[in-house]
Chain A
């Protein structure tokens, strides 16, 4: 979707937070914030939903747990029971380590793969940058211009809170 963005560029993350605070208090909807590192305290202004990746990871973990227990119980309990060191064929204490490992394996990899899919990341994907230095030392507040009633007040906030550059641009995402 093509959007028209109004962007303010900052060099100080503290100023970004001030800007976001003023903008949201004026009822402006924030499209996104771009920064070279995570700024703590930005999330509440973006009003994004709490991520459910934790739940996903828990489910993957359970899946790994079940896989391990089923695999070992089937192989040693049904397919090919074996007497090893006089222990019962289904020697559950022996299954603890592998069960744990597979739980972690599934939870971790499932989580990361989901993260890549949800965030649409893949090797070779082109990045669309509002400023070439936004991964280095430039912080950007982007606002959807089409949802905006009063452009000038936003620009005023940008200037007041220390944005060094204000511009408009098209952006596709």
Chain B
């Protein structure tokens, strides 16, 4: 970092000249009374979530025969949803960890919400493999424990088991990273409530803030561990989608087994995650009036990452297609032709146009700075990335090696219900977060404010307090 800033650099905090204003703007939703819109949307998402839970209950009660799977297409909707949600999560870690290592200042105001998105997305993702086990109550068998089941150990050669380790490590480390980032901000909220005399609220946030005082000795350690955690989270986030990709790529199924899968899945995950970040941020900055902290420049930077990763994904599609031909292998060649022009061809073209063509619009500054268009494109990205997983999974399976086994796949209402329910869960959690935690990282945004104005409400002679 350099203490000199080039005049051509963007201002990441606009129209703000005191630290107090940053605090006030960001804490406002927590301090203010619940408003009706918030209650309405939260209840709505909760209702959707409950509908999903009902479908989950039905699945557990009746078994996964309620899904549209068959012998040929034994993996379909739920694994698609699993990979989709895990992918969404990746942007949060990328913003909080990778961009921190790259000293990107603009991450400071979007990292909190994106990390929250990560946590909630991974929670949604976790539902699907658990359900697909059929007997969820035996989930503990995932872990390598000494047992009396004839010494039945887990299969360390199975990418599905690698997933268990990867997802649980990823979830717990992201959670800790996210929480650690909130500790100083919870302290700020605690003290704001203390000033207003709202003792119970102050105490609740006090418990959450672990007694943070803002001593420089602690800040110094705090910054060190943030950097180390970023250094750990960066390869971690790569490993997670790498391992997810290996669920497919270690097999011998044409269309699944290709060596580019690990980096390609990671690029796709970041792409889809940033699509979701766009969707969420455009709404959040508008509703909470945070346009001074999440500026158009922020949205442009995000759009550029969407463009870059979208193009990378496009490169991977084309490499795959080319190599399928180049391999000279009958099956490889067939499966890719079938993917694009077979019975599920429509899903391929939805995927291709949403993921490769639509983001190319972000080459234009006009589109990057138009929030309406960005929002629309971000929805396309989300749809496209869901279809990407669907295409990979279903089109590769439905044409088996044995033509007599060829079949089609149609999802049932139960599968749709669970997918919709997972969105309900995601948004319920996100709304709760947006109400009860600072959606923007206050202390990191404050570091971006240079040359503050003297606050006009400074008090002298205030006594020390214990909160």
A interface residues with partner B (beta carbon < 8 Å): 11-12, 14, 32-40, 42-43, 46, 48, 51, 53-54, 57, 71-72, 75-76, 79-80, 82, 84-85, 87, 91, 94-95, 97-98, 100-102, 104-105, 107-109, 111-112, 115-116, 118-138, 164-165, 167, 169-171
Contacts and interface: CB of A to CB of B under 8 A. Distances in A.
What is the interface of chain A mostly: helix, strand, loop, or mixed? mixed
B443 A127 contact: no
8 contacts: A12-B454, A91-B157, A105-B173, A109-B172, A121-B211, A126-B466, A128-B464, A165-B458
Contact of B219 (A14, A35, A94, A105): A35
A37 B153 CA distance: 49
Interface in B213-237: 213-225, 228-229, 232-233, 235-236
B276 interface: no
Interface residues of B, number: 82
A57 B230 CA distance: 13
Contacts of B213: 34, 127-129, 134-135
Contact of B447 (A37, A53, A75): A37
Contact of B191 (A48, A109, A136): A136
Most B CB atoms within 10 A — which of A118, A127, A135, A170?
Answer: A135
B464 A72 contact: no
Nearest to B177: A108
B454 A11 contact: yes
Nearest to B463: A169
Contact of B1 (A40, A80, A112, A126): A40
Nearest to A12: B452
A118 B221 CA distance: 10
A53 B224 contact: yes
Contacts of A53: 221, 224-225, 228
B225 A79 contact: no
What is the interface of chain B mostly: helix, strand, loop, or mixed? helix
Contacts of B161: 98
A165 B156 contact: no
Given A91-B157, A116-B210, A129-B191, A136 B20 contact: yes
Contacts of B35: none
B23 interface: yes
Contact of B211 (A34, A51, A126, A136): A126
Interface in B436-467: 442-444, 446-447, 451-452, 454-455, 458-467
A74 to B, nearest CB: 10
Given A36-B446, A136-B192, A111 B229 contact: yes
B172 A132 contact: no
B161 to A, nearest CB: 7
Contacts of A39: 216, 219
Given A123-B207, A136-B20, A75 B153 contact: yes
Contact of A98 (B162, B183, B218, B220): B162
Nearest to A169: B464
Contact of B165 (A87, A98, A109, A169): A98
Given A72-B156, A132-B191, A137 B19 contact: yes
B103 to A, nearest CB: 12
Given A101-B169, A135-B191, 16 more contacts: A14-B451, A32-B215, A32-B216, A37-B443, A75-B153, A79-B151, A80-B151, A101-B165, A104-B169, A104-B239, A112-B180, A112-B225, A112-B229, A133-B191, A133-B459, A135-B188
Nearest to A133: B191
B232 A33 contact: no
B452 A119 contact: no
A126 B192 CA distance: 15
Contacts of A42: 216, 219-220
B166 interface: yes
A85 B216 contact: no
B184 interface: yes
A122 B446 contact: no
B1 A121 contact: no
Contacts of A97: 159, 162, 165-166, 239, 242-243, 246
B75 interface: no
Interface in B165-204: 165-166, 169, 172-173, 176-177, 180, 183-184, 187-188, 190-192, 194-195
B209 interface: yes
A36 B155 contact: no
Interface in B356-393: none
B144 interface: yes
B207 A127 contact: no
A108 B229 contact: yes
